[in-house]
Amino acid sequence: MADNVTSPRYVGFWMRLFAFFIDSLILTVIIGLILIAIFGRNYIQLSMQGKTFWLISARIVDANTYGPPSTGKLIGRYFAYLVSIIPIFLGFLWIAFDKRKQGWHDKLAGTVVIQDEDD
């Protein structure tokens, strides 16, 4: 009976990474639809301006110019979250001790989060 047992086929790194991106995309779409349903299309406009959740009145800006960050910086910042998350979220904890309140993902992307003076 033990002769019929086969070893499982393990899924490798690249397939698991691909699955992670697919899962992330699905979750992003679902969360985006929920946010739009709750806050309306105004939520899209605020996020396009680099502003975060409407109660916080904060926005992401370029760390050097304090202007809007490039799309590349925002994409890099999103993927740099992994650097902040992997070592038991130490990259986020770093915000509490940094003089510019930058997490590791902010430092890698060249961004800072500031209070929005327009509100």
Q: Does the pLDDT of residue 119 top 60, yes or no?
A: no
Q: State the pLDDT at residue 102.
A: 96
Q: How far is CA 118 from the centre of its chain?
A: 24
Question: Could you write out the DSSP letters of every residue in 44-97?
Answer: HHHHHTTB-STTT-EEEEETTT-SPPPHHHHHHHHHHHHHHHTTTTHHHHGGGT
Residue-range definition of the domain harbouring residue 14: 2-115
Q: Does the pLDDT of residue 112 top 60, yes or no?
A: yes
State pLDDT tens for residues 86-96: 889 899 999 99
State pLDDT tens for residues 8-67: 787 888 888 888 889 888 988 898 888 788 777 777 676 666 565 556 677 889 999 999
Q: Does the pLDDT of residue 108 top 90, yes or no?
A: yes
* Overall domain count for the chain: 1
